[in-house]
Amino acid sequence: MASNGASGMSGPIAVSLHDITVRFGRLTALDSVAFDVPAGQHRAIIGPNGAGKSTLFGVVAGTHRPTSGRVIVDGDDITSLPVHRRADVGVITTFQHSSLFLRETVLENVLLAVARKARVAHRWFRPATAYREQLERSAELLAQVGLAGREALPAGALSHGERRQLEVGVALAAEPRVLLLDEPAAGMSPAETARLSELIRGLPAEMTVLLVEHDLDLVFDLAHEVTVLHLGQLLTTGSVAQVRANEDVQRAYLGAADVDELFFDREETR
């Protein structure tokens, strides 16, 4: 299993976190976390429970306000922007808990997102064919995420994996510059995870992807670089190979006795 691309990508910085600190009362969830993500990179954030991954994701997504520090995207300070305003500047999030309209069709879910991006007022009682350009774009997106032929199904009739595919399609309708994925493989079967991995690897090369994920197989398959958090602090950032070899990661995140099994032996069973 290899990382999807080389580490150390050069070029413009898409996301820059400047000394992010988050406190909840006396608890410091994040302590001066700072790193840059180059444009077009797939960056995974991993760490043990309580490391601060979800809090950091929320800071970038806009669901958590940092106690101090700044979030910079393409040179713009978005620290104070709510989630919907971040979408306007190209930061799009898919959360672990579904935000789909489960009673509406697969097509309607994507069509609504496409119409929103086009600034066209979508009305549920109008036939989908009334939105010709948006309909064509929606069909393209559904094909891209592997849901061609499922357009007429209610979203609630899809499998768990297919719902995640649809959520990615809805996110792509917004034409994100930065796509944030919150536990995208949670609850998926191995086959569904493999399809998701193929989908993410097929995203446009210029799109920056930031994901929080527990499935290390998926992380190692997708990530150009991996950032490891521990107890709210940045432990290291590097390629998959560098993270695998890092003794601090082995001790703090995996446990030195388990590192060979988790990082190497599992490859032999794939």
CATH architecture of 7-90+177-270: 3-Layer(aba) Sandwich (3.40)
What are the C-alpha distances in Å from 243 to residues 2, 35, 228?
A: 13, 16, 8
* Averaged pLDDT, 35-62: 95
Query: In which band, very low, low, confident or very high, does the pLDDT at 40 lie, cut at 50, 70 and 90?
Result: very high
Beta strands in 87-168 (DSSP E): 91-94
Q: What is the pTM of this model?
A: 0.85
Alpha carbons 101 and 27: distance in angstroms, whole number: 36
CA angle at 136 for the pair 132 and 142, rounded to the nearest 5° = 140
Give the torsion through C-alpha atoms of 134, 137, 138, 139, to 10 deg. Answer: 130
Q: What are the boundaries of each domain within the chain?
A: 7-90+177-270, 102-175
Exposed/middle/buried for residue 264 (C-beta within 10 Å: 0-12, 13-18, 19+) = exposed
List, for residues 184-241, the tens digit of each pLDDT value.
998 888 998 998 999 999 999 999 999 999 898 899 999 999 999 999 999 999 999 9
φ/ψ of residue 33, rounded to 5: -80, 130
* Averaged pLDDT, 16-39: 97
Query: In which band, very low, low, confident or very high, does the pLDDT at 34 lie, cut at 50, 70 and 90?
Result: very high
Query: In which band, very low, low, confident or very high, does the pLDDT at 3 lie, cut at 50, 70 and 90?
Result: very low
List, for residues 116-168, the tens digit of each pLDDT value.
887 755 555 566 566 688 899 999 999 999 999 999 999 999 999 999 999 99
